[in-house]
Amino acid sequence: MKLHGFHRSTASYRVRIALALKGVAHDEAWYVLRNGEQRAPDYLALNPQGLVPALELGEGHLLTQSLAICEYLDELWPEPPLLPGDAFAKARIRALAQVIACDIHPVQNLKILARLKGFGVDDAGVERWAQITIEEGLAAYDTLIASCAGRFSAGDTVTLADLCLVPQLANARRFGVDYATRLPRLAAIEAACFEIEAFASSRPEVQPDAG
């Protein structure tokens, strides 16, 4: 397997955590997104979307989209499960993951922020856009987990929801969102996650391409 990603990509971060939790050996290739390396012809031939992550499986098989990759890994390496519980519990975990992966992250990612600048929004306006998007989304997430959170987002075991939350909190810090004060439950979940080696070793700042 080869993971194509970027250390600061939150979507790549999710997959790194999943691979680490499952103990799956893999190679890596890195692309500096701000330099447009993900739009180079060789990578577009692999993933026409020009996005990371992509997981190359060999024999011509490739998976894109971080949640699909994580669920694929969960089926092949079921321990520890990313979607534990009955049908309702699994659906609730998927819903929490999608709050971040579908409704927060895509609206404040590099592609959208660059487009805002292209439309004439100044740097302060672009940054505020990202902050508001993250603040509103995390506040909704915090409310949604009020009935199911334990040590982690959906009880006392790590799930797919946490694999999405922790990278999004890294983005929140990057844009100066003070979630630790406003949303202490999320900060506590993040701290619990970082006690697990798979999360700690997957942090952007310790990746080989972070230098």
**Mean pLDDT of the 74-81 span:** 98
Query: With 0-12 CB in 10 A as exposed, 13-18 as middle and 19+ as buried, what is 87?
Result: exposed
| Confidence (pLDDT) at 33 | 92
CA angle, 137 then 142 then 144, to 5°: 95
> Mapped to the 3 state alphabet, what secondary structure does the chain carry?
CEEEECCCCHHHHHHHHHHHHHCCCCEEEECCHHHCHHHCHHHHHHCCCCCCCEEEEECCEEEECHHHHHHHHHHHCCCCCCCCCCHHHHHHHHHHHHHHHHHHHHHCCHHHHHHHHHCCCCHHHHHHHHHHHHHHHHHHHHHHHHHCCCCECCECCCCHHHHHHHHHHHHHHHCCCCHHHHCHHHHHHHHHHHCCHHHHCCCHHHCHHHC
**Mean pLDDT of the 50-59 span:** 95
Are 2-79 and 87-198 the same fold in CATH? no
**Model pLDDT for residues 36-49, shown as the tens digit of each residue:** 999 999 999 999 99
* CA gap 153, 150 in Å, rounded: 6
Q: Two tokens at 164? A: 């999405």
- Taking the C-alpha atoms of 183, 188, 194 and 196 in order, what is their torsion angle to the nearest 10 degrees? -140
| Confidence (pLDDT) at 122 | 98
pLDDT at 211 over 80: no
User: Which CATH code for domain 2-79?
Assistant: 3.40.30.10
> Taking the CA atoms of the chain, what radius of gyration do you get in angstroms?
17
| Bridge partner list, 29 | 4
Cβ atoms of 70 and 160 closer than 8 Å: yes
**Mean pLDDT of the 55-68 span:** 95
pLDDT at 58 over 90: no
Give CA 152 to chain center in angstroms: 16
Average pLDDT, the chain: 97
- CA nearest 167: which of 136, 211, 204, 130? 204
Q: Domain segments of the chain: what residues? A: 2-79, 87-198
Provide the percentage of residues in the chain whose pLDDT is more than 70.
100
At residue 156 the predicted structure's pLDDT band, cuts being 50, 70 and 90, is very high
pLDDT at 152 over 90: yes
CATH of range 87-198; options 3.30.450.70, 3.20.20.210, 3.20.20.70, 1.20.1050.10? 1.20.1050.10
pLDDT at 151 over 90: yes
Please tell me whether the overall predicted TM-score, pTM, comes out greater than 0.85 for this model.
yes
